Every structure is written in structure tokens, then in C-alpha cells.
Structure 1
Amino acid sequence: MNQDLSLQEVKKEWHGSLKSYVIGFIISLLLTSASFLIVVFKVLAGQTLIFALVFLALVQSICQLLFFLHLGQEAKPRWETMIFFFMFIILLIIVGGSLWIMQDLNDRVMMDMSSMNAEKTDD
């Protein structure tokens, strides 16, 4: 079927075609359903459940990047891919910085129980 097509023609066939969107939708639907069913029927528990859900979320995000955003399917110099990774780094900096600030505020503002009891006995 695709034997007579060049690589660029095969990429154009998949980029934005109904076939790629339907395949991506079905895979996303299956991964979402699997996550939901694992939680509802308590198939896994504790750390195993968390790792399974994170794994399924990562697989689904990769699926959406490939089938819906068509990341990595452009000709060189791959500007979309570079922009995506730059955006991802910025997102990590924002989320990591926010978590760091919130943890620092929690440590500085919230008193532990021993210091609260010491203040009560001083009064």
C-alpha cells in the first residue's frame, strides 16, 4: 500500500488525516478507560496504583503528542519539536519553582506541634 510512496508522502498521509485522529482517539479512550477501571475496581493499591496511573498518563500524553499534535513528523529543522521541548522546560521550571516556594512557605509559617505546645505553656 505505502510501498510506492516516499517518506515525505507517508508523513503527509498521516498528518491531519482522519485515520490518524481516529487511531489516536481510540488509543486515548482505551488508556483513559483503563485508568478509570483500575481505580474504580481497586485492581491495584498503594504505590503500584500510583505508578500504573502515572505510566498510563505518560503513554497517553505521548499518544496525543504523536496523533493529535503530530510532533516529530515535520521536515528538518524540526522547529515544532524544539519549541515543544523549550515549553516543557519552562513548564518544569514554573511548577518546580512553585512547589519549592510553597514548601518553603509551609516550613516558615506553619509551626510544629512541639513549638505550639511550648508557646501554650509559656503563657
Structure 2
Amino acid sequence: MSAHDHAHGSHDDHHGDTPHGSMGGYMIGFGLSAILTAIPFWLVMSEVLGSASWTAVAIMAFAVVQILVHMIFFLHMSTRSEGGWTMMALIFTVVIVGITLSGSMWVMYHLNTNMMPHVMAEPGTTPEAGMHDMGSMP
């Protein structure tokens, strides 16, 4: 080792205890990713669940699992990497994204139900038939 290597550590110590992937780990991740892509495709094409709502829920569940597979096998995220701060940042991000998405869905649902005109028309008539004439209002 040269004087530079002794002062700054060897090349192997450069990354510390950050886990690195192996070819086997990458192949397991690839296999899981392929399976987690094929199953939702099969669910949609064969209409196994019978309901579009349940199929969408299943697809989202498989998507969450696939995100976890990518983070573990390809991004090498664990509680050990960088003293656990990477996992804390991930948890914080997931909480903020969850709040943002659920809040957005709540707002859109309530805007849709509260802002749509409630037209009281007779069955078989057009919606405009039940609307009041704005010109005749005082």
C-alpha cells in the first residue's frame, strides 16, 4: 500500500459497510420483477377477479410489492445502509406521499359531489328540463 492508501484507507474501505449486490441477488430481483409484472397482466387479460375495482386494487398491491423488490434488490436499501438514515428518509417520503395522495383523492371526491348541479328532472326528460330559467329570477 502506498502512503496515499494508508492516509485515506484502501479502495475496499471506500464504501464502508454499504451492501453491494451479487449476480444471484440481481437475478432474484429480476425474476421477482418479471413475475410481479406478469401476474397483474394476467389478472387484467383473464378478468379473474370479475370487478374492475378489485383488479385495480390488486394491481396497486402488486405495484407496491414491486417497488419494495426494486428498493431491496437493486437500490440495496436496508436498515444498515448509512446508519439507518436512508430508511428514515424513505419512511418520511412514504408518509408525505400517502398524505398527499389521500388528501388529493378526498378533495377531488368532495369537489365532485359538492359542485355538481343536482338536477331534478322527470325521468325520460333532458337534464335541462329541470333547470330553472336564470333570466326569470328576481
TM-score exceeds 0.5:
yes
1:26-48, Cα deviation, whole Å (9 max, x unpaired): 11111101110121122221155
Please tell me whether the aligned partners of residues 79 and 87 of structure 2 are also in contact (alpha carbons under 8 angstroms).
Answer: no
Question: Residue 56 of structure 1: which of 62, 65, 72 is its match?
Answer: 62
Q: TM-score, normalised by structure 2?
A: 0.63
Q: Does 1:30 align with 2:35?
A: yes
1:45-102, Cα deviation, whole Å (9 max, x unpaired): 1155344333322322221221122221525730000000001111112212222332
Cα deviation, residue 24, structure 1: 0.7
Distance change (3 Å), C-alpha of 1:51 and 1:109? closer
Unaligned runs of 5+ in 1: 1-10
Q: Which amino acid aligns with 1:65?
A: M
Q: Distance in 1 between matches of 2:89 and 2:58?
A: 29
Partner of 2:132: 119
Q: TM-score, normalised by structure 1?
A: 0.69
Q: Does 1:40 align with 2:45?
A: yes
RMSD: 2.9
Distance change (3 Å), C-alpha of 1:49 and 1:97? closer
Partner of 2:73: 67
Partner of 1:4: none
Partner of 1:96: 102
Aligned residues: 111
Q: Which amino acid aligns with 1:98?
A: S
Q: Percent identity?
A: 31
Distance change (3 Å), C-alpha of 1:36 and 1:87? same
Partner of 1:79: 85
Q: Which amino acid aligns with 1:20?
A: G
Distance change (3 Å), C-alpha of 1:44 and 1:105? closer
Q: Which amino acid aligns with 1:107?
A: T
Q: Which has the higher helix share?
A: 1
Larger CA Rg, structure 1 vs 2: 2
Q: Distance in 1 between matches of 2:54 and 2:100?
A: 28
Bigger RCO (CA 8 Å, 6+ sep)? 1
